[in-house]
Every structure is written in structure tokens, then in C-alpha cells.
């Protein structure tokens, strides 16, 4: 078993460090995995909050687009009195929520 480097005894000159290089990758790998796992666990609530906020923004954006399309159809058709079958179909799809 080895301990941290110190300037005392046989560790002088880096001989201790050089003789134990084969165990270092495992140590660094363990530290890296631990840090990555900790960081992911700490950010999980924030990720859900951001995703929820993005969904709400997207929902509002899509509904605004649909509302503006319905207003345009309504205005162009003079209150749905003078409307083509195609435009009436688009209007109905948007109002039913299937568009």
C-alpha cells in the first residue's frame, strides 16, 4: 500500500511516484467517476425545471400561432360568412385542437 508523496525517506526524487504509476490510472478513474456521478445527481432537479419551463414556452408559442391563424381566417372571411371549404376545414381543425 502507498501513501501520498512526501519529501521524507525514499520518496525523495520522485522514486516513489515513478514506482507506483501503474496504480494511478485506477485512482484517477475512481475520482472522475465519483465526481461525474455527484454532478449529475445534483443537477437532476434543475434539468426537470428547465424542461418544464421550455414545454410551457413552446405550448404558449404554438397556441399563439394557432390563435393568430384563426383570427386571420375569421377576419378574411368577414366573420365566417364568406369562407371557402378549405379555410373552414382549417378553422375547424384548429378550434378542435387536431391541427
| Averaged pLDDT, 67-72 | 96
d(CA 91, CA 74): 8
- Look at residue 1 in the predicted model and tell me its pLDDT: 46
Four-point Cα dihedral 21, 23, 24, 26, nearest 10:
150
Q: Please list, in sequence order, all residues whose beta carbon lies within 8 angstroms of the beta carbon of residue 80, skipping any fewer than 6 positions away.
A: 73, 74, 88, 91
pLDDT at 25 over 80: no
Query: pLDDT per residue over 27-63, tens digit each?
Result: 555 655 555 555 556 667 788 888 999 999 999 999 9
d(CA 73, CA 81): 11
The structural domains of the chain, with segments of one domain joined by +, span 13-96
d(CA 86, CA 64): 21
pLDDT at 5 over 60: no
Q: Which pTM value belongs to this model? A: 0.52
Amino acid at each position: 500500500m502507498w501513501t501520498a508523496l512526501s519529501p521524507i525517506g525514499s520518496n525523495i526524487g520522485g522514486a516513489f511516484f515513478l514506482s507506483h504509476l501503474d496504480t494511478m490510472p485506477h485512482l484517477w478513474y475512481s475520482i472522475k467517476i465519483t465526481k461525474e456521478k455527484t454532478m449529475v445527481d445534483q443537477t437532476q432537479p434543475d434539468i426537470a425545471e428547465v424542461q418544464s419551463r421550455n414545454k410551457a414556452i413552446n405550448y404558449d408559442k404554438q397556441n399563439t400561432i394557432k390563435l393568430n391563424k384563426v383570427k386571420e381566417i375569421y377576419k378574411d372571411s368577414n366573420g365566417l360568412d364568406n369562407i371557402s371549404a378549405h379555410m373552414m376545414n382549417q378553422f375547424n381543425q384548429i378550434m378542435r385542437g387536431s391541427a
